[in-house]
Structures are given as C-alpha cells and as structure tokens.
Amino acid sequence: MGKKFHLLVVMIDKKTVKKEFLLLVQSIMNIKVDDKMMNLKINKISEWDSFNNLMLIGEVEKKFSIKYSANEIESLETVNSVVDSIFNKVKVK
Amino acid sequence: MKIAILSSFTVKNILPQLKEVVSSLGFSATFYEGNYNQYVQEILDKQSSYWKFSADITFIFIDPESIFGDDIYNSVFLDENTTGKLVYSKICMFKSLMNSISDSNIVISNLYRFAETPLYYFGRASPQGPVALIDKFNFELRSLLASKSHAFLLDIHHLSSVFGIRNITDSRLKYLGSINFTNDFCKVVSAECGRIIRAMYGISKKCLIVDLDNTLWGGVVGEDGPEGISIGTVFPGNVFLDVQKYLKSLKQRGILLAVCSKNNMDDVEKAFTTSGMVLSLSDFVSIRANWDPKTDNIASIASELNIKTDSIVFLDDSPHERALVKEFMPEVEVVDFPENIEELPATLYSLHFFETKAITEEDKKKTVLYHHERERDKDKKQFNSVEDFLKNLNIQICIEPISDKNIKRAFQLVNKTNQFNLRTIRYTEDELTKIVNSPKYCSFTLFVRDKFGDYGQTGIAIFKDEGNNYFLENYLLSCRILSKKIEFAFLSRCIELLPKHIPLRGEFIQTPKNVPSINFLTEFGLEKNAEGIMIINDPLTCGKEIPFIGGYDR
C-alpha cells in the first residue's frame, strides 16, 4: 500500500517551480523577473524589500506547502537561490 | 475618503484587505501609512506628513510591548498604586492625542493579550501582572473612546480571542519584519474596520423581514398546530429561543421587524400565544401572512412603512424564497441561512447591517411610533378630506437649537433621511458638532407630536449666514411626518427664529430618492432670480402659515 501511495506523488520539476514562483513575484511586487535577473541579489531589486520578501515567502509556503525558518529566510540571497530553496524543500517532502 | 494608518508596529499587510472592505461600502479611499512606531510624534507635530494628508479617518494600531515596554515583565514587582498610575499615564497620552485630532474620526485599537504570558500562571493571576495591566488599559480605553463622538474602539482583544491569540502572530513576521499580525488575522481586523466605518457614517439597514416556520420557531404551525412547534429550552426550540431574543434586542435598538410568511393569519396569531415565545405580535410593525409571492409582500411592507426596499434585510429558511428575492429584488440584503439550524444565532450575531455608535431615544420607541401610524391610518378613513383629518390630528411642533441634548439623533437624521431632503448633504458627527458650534451657522431640530403620540425628533434645518443672505444648507424631515404640511410650518418658524431678517437662498439637489421634496422650495415661495438662484428676499412674509399646527415646549 505504502509503495503504491508513493508512486502517486506528482513529481514537480525545477522549471515548473521557477514558473510558479515568478508568477507569485509578479503578483506581489508587480515586477517581471527575466532570466538576466535570476542571479541578482534580491536586496538590489528595489521592489523586493524585506516586507515584500516576507509576504512573498508566505505565499510561497501556501502554494508549495512548505515552511521556512527565520534563518532560512534571512539567508536567501539571489532570485535563483530562492527557486533552489523551494525546489529542495519540495523534493524532500 | 482619506484613511491614515498609524501604528506601533508594521501593519502594512492590512492595506489590501482594508481597501477591499472600504470599496465594498461604496467609498473610494486613499491611504496614508505612518512611519514605523512614530504615531505620537506624527500626531503632535502639526507639520508632519500625517497632517498634510488631512485624514477623514485615523486608525491607530498599538501593541502591549510598545505601550508598556519592560513593565510587561516588571509590573508584578510594583505595588497596585504604581501600576494604576502607569495605566493612567498611558490613557492620558491617548486622551491628548485624541483631543489634538479633532478634524478626523479616530479609531484606536486596544491591546491583545499574550499567548505565552511572562511569568506563566503568576503573570496571569497577579493583580499587577502583565495580563492585569493589559486588561486595565483596555477597560480605561473603552471608556475614553466612548466619551467622544469622533472616537471609536477597534476591539483587537475581542477579535484575537475569537481568532485565537496564537494565530494572530507569526514569529517570523514579528522578529524579521516587526509585523505583528498575520495576513489571515488582518482580514478579520479589516472586516471589523468595515463595521466601524458603517457605525461612523450611519450606514445601517432599517427593517428586518422574517419568515416564521423553521425561522422563528421549529416546525410548521399550519401542519403541526401551535402545540407542535418548537420554542423553549430543548433543542431545537432553544436555538429559536436565542433567535427570538436576538430579534427582540434589534427591535429594542430601533430596527423594525416585519413578518412575511406563507401562512394563515389565524395560525400565526395562535403560534404567538404559545408559551415560551419571546416575541409577540406587537413587536412587529407589519405582518404579511398570506400566500402571495414574497417579493410582492416585501414591496408592500416597504411602501406601508415608507422605506426603500434597499434598507431591508430578509431572513427565510427556504432556499427557494431566498433565491426569488435575490433574483427579483437584488437591493434587498438576503441573509445566508445556515445549513444547520444550530448555526442560526451565530449567523445573526455576525450580520453587519445594523451597526451604530449610539442608541437614541427615538430608536428605542420606533416600533411604537409605527403602531401609532397604523392608528392614524384607521382614523384617516373617517374623514372626507385630508385637511379635515390633519386638523383633527392636533399636530404640535417644537423647535430647538441643535445641542448636546439632541445631536446624536440629529446625526442619524442627517445621514439616514433620503426622501424629504433638499440637498442630501451628509456629515460625520464631528462635522455636525463643528457646524452647530460655528457662529456662521444657525441649526435647528424639530420635534413633533399629535393626538396619537409622539413622533420624536424628526427634522433638521441648517442655515448658513452668507453675509447678505442665509443659505438653507440642510433641510430634511423624517418620512414619518411627511404629507402633514409640517415642512411648511417648520421652515416658517425657523425663519422667525433667525437673528437677522435677510433674504433666504435655497437649493435642491436631486438624488434618485428625494423626489418627494422636489417642489418644496417653489411651494414655500422661493423663486429663481436672473442668475438662476433660488431666493426669497423677505422670507418672513412668504412662509405658508399652517393654522392647525400648534407649538409646544419640551
């Protein structure tokens, strides 16, 4: 039974994570993040202030059913690192 | 509408939801967000951006840590006298903030308790402990806010208890962003802010129309007989008992109750004699027990009570009837009847159609006033002409300046009167107070009685001194005294009371609702001059004398 259940879990790929995540960024900060911006530090993006970052993480948690600690939120640096962190959390679920 | 949000913590995440609530009330609002924990400085410095914004409503959100600081942890070591003084000094600060904001309505949140109390049980039980400190502060704040007409309480303590104190905060938001409330709790707070704005602007429905079977009692009286219906102390009768108690309390505070039920009148009368009934037939101003479509009955109740159908709330257990009313009378508010009957009392408690800041004497006797009107209608049929009927009514009027004694009801009249209202200019209670105290204005209010009883305070006349003439800035009469020529007698006598005998200018601003007052200024004697302004040079001579309307002193 347990094995069967595991087989039913839909695997989510990184591309999808990125796409869904960028939609959330757009709805909260009203900015479109393109591929050139993926390695930017989030504190260099003016709309991405600490308040919006917290609101974003809240939405990310809801969307992907994952949870961040305060330290994890503090250590997010680039846009890419956020996508990676989501993917890593979804993977181990 | 301009709304300022000042706070001791970051409360920016309330904005999206608050915007939604405000726009659902029909207001378009602009917002000002104060700087983080700077509300005292922003209010005291009259040059601050807060003052430049010139808010209509100022919300102040506060939290226990910013108010009491380390005393939250230390208060148990102080004596009772010292903690009392501590609370008093904080309340005094809010009093002075409140007094310096006289141009804006002010809403102050009280303090929520801690989920984890410092010092554990002792912190909760000690009369000087942190919980006691918060409770004392909240108690004093409530009295302070109730004492001022422009001040309102945002009861965060209550909202957080219902929501669960542990759920109002997310430690990560708190410690990383000084955001004390989660987005989900902000939603609850925004809804309460909507209720407060309703009370502030007097946005309230006037009448609740209810079905009977399975709505006011369990069972169907036509089938089960009066002995077979459930009302009382045992389920489901105890649910309906609470429903009836709630309706009775609405009636006592001035909401009109009416019945619209597919039933025989005979059965309905018998049902109301059943023991255990809280409501009696006389609690309802109008009863329709018949088999006509409910939409027809609702329209006929509205016309009988002389109210618009958009001021009606409809309660009925039948999904079919609710759907019909929603479809054909979208302006009527239809209560979402719960699937399980035990939820009905809670559904009623959570309605937001009947908000008010104060209950006036007129509110308390409203149902009686409508019963008097019924007797007048019966009496009217005995007379051949309307004039004979009016003469026989023995109408008497009393005019008083608007003052502390009558301003609460004056505020209600200004904000609720639609039909006989020349300009439909609404004021907040604070704006009205300013007009009343200004030497530029003369403001009067009207009381009326006749042989059937007292109509109470039912009219407002506000004259603005424009130098060479008076301007009738606000003139309105409650619909319950219309068609009795009182509008002529009231204005004539006000003109006699004005300190100067100068021309009177008037203006009529048409709304979808004030057709009954469309011709009044012309009928009273004002004429359009060459510039198209409605004016009368010697208003003392033009007012129609209504000989059968007498005067009295209150």
Min CA distance, A16 vs chain B (Å)?
26
Cβ-Cβ contacts under 8 Å, B171 against chain A: 70
Q: Which residues pair with B208 in a beta bridge?
A: B257, B313
The fraction of chain B above a pLDDT of 70, given in percent, is 99
**Higher pLDDT, residue B235 or B362:** B235
CA atoms within 13 A on the CB side of A86: 27
Q: How many helices (H) and strands (E) does chain A have?
A: 5, 0
Residues of chain B whose beta carbon is less than 8 angstroms from a beta carbon of chain A are: 10, 12-13, 170-173, 175-177, 179, 183
Find chain A residues with C-beta within 8 A of B180's C-beta. none
Where do the H-state alpha helices sit in B438-519?
A: 486-497
* Amino acid identity, position B497: L
**Cα of B313 vs its chain's centroid, Å:** 15
Can you give the pLDDT at residue B429? 84
Q: Do B172 and A54 touch (CB under 8 A)?
A: yes
* pLDDT of B177 higher than 60: yes
Percentages (nearest 5) of helix, strand, coil residues in chain A: 70, 0, 30
pLDDT band at A2 (very low <50, low <70, confident <90, very high): very low
Strand B57-61 with B2-7, pairing: parallel
Selected residue of B172, B180, B182 to mutate for chain A interface (largest A Cβ count, 10 A): B172
Average of pLDDT values for B351-361? 91
Q: Do A70 and B171 count as a contact with CB atoms less than 8 A apart?
A: yes
For B177, list phi and psi in degrees, rounded to 5: -135, 10
Q: How high is the pLDDT of residue A91?
A: 84
Determine whether the interchain pair B176/A70 forms a contact, defined as Cβ–Cβ distance below 8 Å: yes
Rounded Cα–Cα distance for residues B231 and B212 (Å): 12
Q: What does the pLDDT look like over B477-491, one tens digit per residue?
A: 998 898 899 999 999
CA dist B314 and B295 (Å) reads 10
Question: Mean of the per-residue pLDDT values for chain B?
Answer: 94
Please state the rounded mean pLDDT for residues B206-215.
97
**Probe site for chain B from A27, A55, A57, A76 (most B CB atoms < 10 A):** A55
| pLDDT value of position A10 | 58
How many Å apart are CA A24 and CA A56, to the nearest integer?
7
Chain B touched by A30 (CB under 8 Å)? no
Contact A55 B176 (CB under 8 A): no
- Total Cβ atoms within 10 A of residue B65: 15
Instruction: Please check the confidence at residue B545 and state whether its pLDDT lies above 80.
Output: no
Report how far residue A57's alpha carbon sits from residue B132's, in angstroms, rounded to the nearest whole number: 36
pLDDT, tens only, B454-475: 999 999 999 999 999 999 999 9
- Is pLDDT at B228 greater than 60 in this prediction? yes
Answer yes or no: is pLDDT of A4 > 80. no
What digits encode the pLDDT tens for the residues B95-149?
999 999 988 899 999 999 998 888 899 999 999 999 999 999 999 999 999 998 8
**pLDDT classification of A62: cutoffs 50, 70, 90:** very high
CB spacing of A69 vs B179 below 8 angstroms = no
Q: What is the chain B residue with the closest CA to A53? A: B177
Dihedral (Cα; B139, B145, B147, B150), 10-degree rounding? -170
Note the pLDDT of residue A9: 53
Question: Using a CB-CB distance cutoff of 8 angstroms, which residues of chain B are in contact with residue A50?
Answer: 176-177
* Cβ–Cβ below 8 Å for B13 and A55: yes
**Mean of the pLDDT values across residues B328-336?**
97
Q: Which two tokens stand for residue B257?
A: 């109750």
Across B539-552, average pLDDT: 81
Q: Would you call A90 an interface residue with chain B, using a CB distance cutoff of 8 Å?
A: no
Give the model confidence (pLDDT) of A48-57 as tens digits.
999 999 999 9
pLDDT value at A5 more than 70: no
Closest Cα partner for B58 from B203, B204, B200? B200
User: B12 contacts in A (CB within 8 Å)?
Assistant: 51
To test the contact with chain B by mutation, choose from A29, A42, A43, A51 the residue with the greatest count of B C-beta atoms within 10 A, namely A51
Answer yes or no: is pLDDT of B198 > 70: yes
Which of A32-41, B6-15, B429-438 reaches the highest mean pLDDT?
B6-15
Q: Quick one: average pLDDT of A3-25?
A: 77
Indicate which of A49, A54, A68 best probes the interface with B, i.e. most B CBs within 10 Å of its own CB. Answer: A54
Q: What average pLDDT does this structure show over B280-302?
A: 97
The strand ranges marked E within B202-351 are 207-210, 256-261, 286-289, 312-315, 333-334
B189: closest CA of chain A, how far (Å): 18
Q: How far is B172 from chain A (nearest CA, A)?
A: 5
A46 reaches B (C-beta below 8 A):
no
Q: Are strands B105-109 and B57-61 parallel, antiparallel or unpaired?
A: parallel
**Shortest Cα–Cα distance, A5 to chain B (Å):** 32
What is the average pLDDT across B164-168? Answer: 96
Which token pair is B208?
A: 């609740």
At residue A1, the pLDDT reads 45
| SS3 category, A46 | coil
pLDDT of B365 above 60: yes
* Range list of β-strands (E), B203-321: 207-210, 256-261, 286-289, 312-315
**Pair B25, B196: CB distance under 8 Å:** no
pLDDT in tens, B414-453: 988 999 999 999 998 888 999 999 999 999 999 999 998 8
Mean pLDDT taken over chain A: 89
Per-residue model confidence (pLDDT) at position B95: 96
Token readout for B6 is 């000042």
